[in-house]
Amino acid sequence: MGRGERVLPGVWRLRLPLPWPGVPHCNAWALAAGDGVVLVDTGMHEPGSFAHLERALDQVRLRVEHVRLVACTHAHSDHYGQAATVMDRSGAPLWMHPSYEHMARAAQDPEAAWQRRVEVARQSGVPEEPLRRWAEQRREQGPGVARIVAPDRDLVEGVTIDTDLGPWHVHETPGHAPSHVCLFQPDRRLLISGDHLLGRVSLYYDYGWTPDPAGEFLESLDKVDALDARLCLSGHGKPFVDVRGHVEANRALVHERLERVAGAIASGPRTVVEIVPDVHGEPLNAMTAAWRLSETLSYLVHLERAGKARRVPGEPERWEPA
Ligand SMILES: [Zn+2]
Ligand SMILES: [Zn+2]
């Protein structure tokens, strides 16, 4: 069930359900702006999902027609999925970072995007049988996006979003996704962090779109740390204080996993699938495969760029210390 609650005067949290195991809901944020609201993030598009958004808005006496602007922290389905529907209903424009091909390509040609992921898995050493089974399970899930809409304005460094609380400054924070931005209100030191910073540390990288997702994520953590935010409104879970402590916990876990990956290849060439249990303490399964492979590959590529790892070509590819 969608739920709405006021967090601060002029800031409402819209908690929207998700169909994902382990990730029961996501947050959209409504920010008072003149005679309406700015809607930051939208929830995922799936059967019945729009009613959840309407219900959450209704609980705080808002309607979709009050939305004057849709701003997405990044182009993942749980943050951007209903953008088109909200725009259709409200006439509001969309502001988002321009690097959203990671979503556009997957939604426009799901089969090709899926084939690409299967190829990455095969190259990482996933054996034929589970690969086929996982592929069938995953294929049944839709992309979670009503339709791909291009931003009317690019959310890039220097852009501000005006609200009754004052302007929110855009900070580009790639890593979790190439299109990721955080919004910061400097007078009140409020941070809308999307999935860059969550109450519970959870690392995810879109692999294959930028040269070094894990390195980009670390740089984005430094950037957000420097803002010295007081309260974080994140893309999942409750708002939290001690933003610096959360940045530090993310940084520590990335470094720990980088060390584990380096340790895993120290004794000789290994496939990504062989490395995963050393990093995560358990082998791949259908639920975690895509996530863990992307994450581990991101660390390997980061080590490769630092001159600490290299690929041994083959089918599957193996990795060894450089
Ligand atoms: Zn995300
Ligand atoms: Zn999310």
Mean pLDDT by 10 residues, the chain (322 residues): 97 96 93 98 97 98 98 98 98 98 88 85 88 74 89 98 98 98 98 97 94 98 98 98 98 98 95 94 83 95 98 95 96
51: CB partners within 8 A, 6+ apart: 2
CA atoms of 109 and 295, how far apart (whole Å):
23
CA atoms of 199 and 239, how far apart (whole Å):
7
Ligand in nearest proximity to the CA of 26: 2
pLDDT of residue 3: 98
- Residue 267 CA to ligand 1 center (angstroms) comes to 34
- Residue 34 CA to ligand 2 center (angstroms) comes to 28
- Residue 280 CA to ligand 2 center (angstroms) comes to 21
pLDDT of residue 149: 97
Residues in the chain: 322
- Residue 69 CA to ligand 1 center (angstroms) comes to 20
pLDDT of residue 285: 82
The residues placing their C-beta within 5 Å of ligand 1, an ion, are 76, 195
Is 37 in contact with 165 (CB distance < 8 Å)? no
Q: What are phi and psi of 58, to 5 degrees?
A: -60, -35
- β-pair partners for 233: 192
CA atoms of 11 and 233, how far apart (whole Å):
10
Is 95 in contact with 41 (CB distance < 8 Å)? no
pLDDT of residue 139: 66
The letter for the amino acid at 2 is G
- Using a 10 angstrom Cβ sphere, with 0-12 exposed, 13-18 middle and 19 or more buried, the burial of residue 39 is buried
Residue 192: CA count within 13 A, CB half-sphere: 27
- Residue 188 CA to ligand 2 center (angstroms) comes to 24
- What distances in angstroms separate CA 165 from CA 141, 154, 161, 186, one per listed residue? 39, 22, 10, 10
- Residue 116 CA to ligand 1 center (angstroms) comes to 19
Which is it for the CA torsion 52, 53, 58, 60, positive or negative? positive
pLDDT of residue 117: 85
Ligand in nearest proximity to the CA of 27: 2
pLDDT of residue 140: 67
Cα angle vertex 151, ends 239, 43, to 5°?
35
Q: Which of 42, 52, 100 is nearest to 75 (CA)?
A: 100
Ligand in nearest proximity to the CA of 236: 2
- Residue 189 CA to ligand 1 center (angstroms) comes to 23
pLDDT of residue 143: 83
Is 7 in contact with 213 (CB distance < 8 Å)? no
